[in-house]
Structure 1
């Protein structure tokens, strides 16, 4: 994996597996269950006041929209293994980065694909402002990030690839 040629929609193997699992669950379990409910409800007469039918049709549209979205995301996703990063001395896709702000408050973030970001688990998306600012940084580098609350400066303390 060339550090300078990261595709526009990178994703870790685990992130891709999670997308695929969600797609398979919707297609193989939830959608067939809703189809069955809608078919049963349709046989109960007047559809205009049939709550099961109306809810089922609405839920089926939601599932179909999510399936289409997941299919598009998986089609353009490029699975990258973070441990195969050739230059582990700099921050690139898949890096776990310990950073410290001006008050020496430290946090460790992992840069992952946008489809697998989870701020609560300190997994930030590749195209987020902080990830963009950290790209290419080495230990000791200072990076300024423009956030809605103003600019903040972070120092890179350590970099690891797991």
Structure 2
């Protein structure tokens, strides 16, 4: 069979997300994201399209002129990087098209948990934790951010300060008490 008609791997077709795994959006749900998260994704998309992709295309074009492409490392690695960039561009484009930008600062002063809230809670063992509920494409667990579809976010959403809510995890059900809820300040009006 000709090499031209084979795929490099079955995963190449659909792995548009970071690290090859796109975060799933529940069926019928919206892709909520903060204005800051939307701006970061848009900036990444523009940087890939306007800066990184043209550089890689130029490198691949130069490498292609150097002869035998089957043994040309610059050409092979450049083409691989180009596929990665194109896959990420498709992913970002799809996610930005379906994004539902939601500004959490509109809830400032509220004691009820909505999207974008930073919530301090205590678990049954007395351990205090603070999480910020963000969109699927912007939450970073290393910064105590959780996706709005995570079990803890689902348990906390719509709760108020002082409420005890049930957190269902694979390890069983637990109770957590909401200690405080805060939201970012609204953007200051520019003069």
Under a length normalisation based on structure 1, what TM-score does the superposition of the two structures give?
Answer: 0.91
CA–CA distance in 2 between the matches of 1:43 and 1:148? 56
CA–CA distance in 1 between the matches of 2:66 and 2:89? 28
Partner of 1:134: 156
CA–CA distance in 1 between the matches of 2:170 and 2:59? 46
Which one scores higher on RCO, CA 8 angstroms, separation ≥ 6?
A: 1
Select 1:110's aligned residue among 132, 135, 138: 132
Partner of 2:106: 84
**What stretches of structure 1 move > 3 A for 4+ residues in a row?**
none
Gaps in structure 1 of 5+ consecutive residues: 1-6
- TM-superposed CA distance for 1:143, in Å, is 1.6
- String of CA shifts for 1:29-64, please: whole Å, max 9, x gaps: 110111011000000011111111011111101100
Partner of 2:84: 62
Select 2:44's aligned residue among 22, 41, 61: 22
- TM-superposed CA distance for 1:86, in Å, is 7.9
**8 Å contact from structure 2 (residues 108, 182) kept in 1:** no
Partner of 1:101: 123
CA–CA distance in 2 between the matches of 1:26 and 1:148? 38
Q: How many residues in Structure 1 have an aligned counterpart in Structure 2?
A: 156
Does residue 44 (structure 1) correspond to residue 63 (structure 2)? The answer is: no
CA–CA distance in 2 between the matches of 1:49 and 1:14? 44
Equivalent residue of 1:114, what SS?
coil
74 and 83 in structure 1: CA distance in 2 versus 1, 3 angstrom threshold: same
Task: State how 1:137-148 maps to structure 2 within 5 Å.
Answer: 137-148=159-170
CA–CA distance in 1 between the matches of 2:171 and 2:53? 42
Partner of 1:3: none
- TM-superposed CA distance for 1:87, in Å, is 8.1
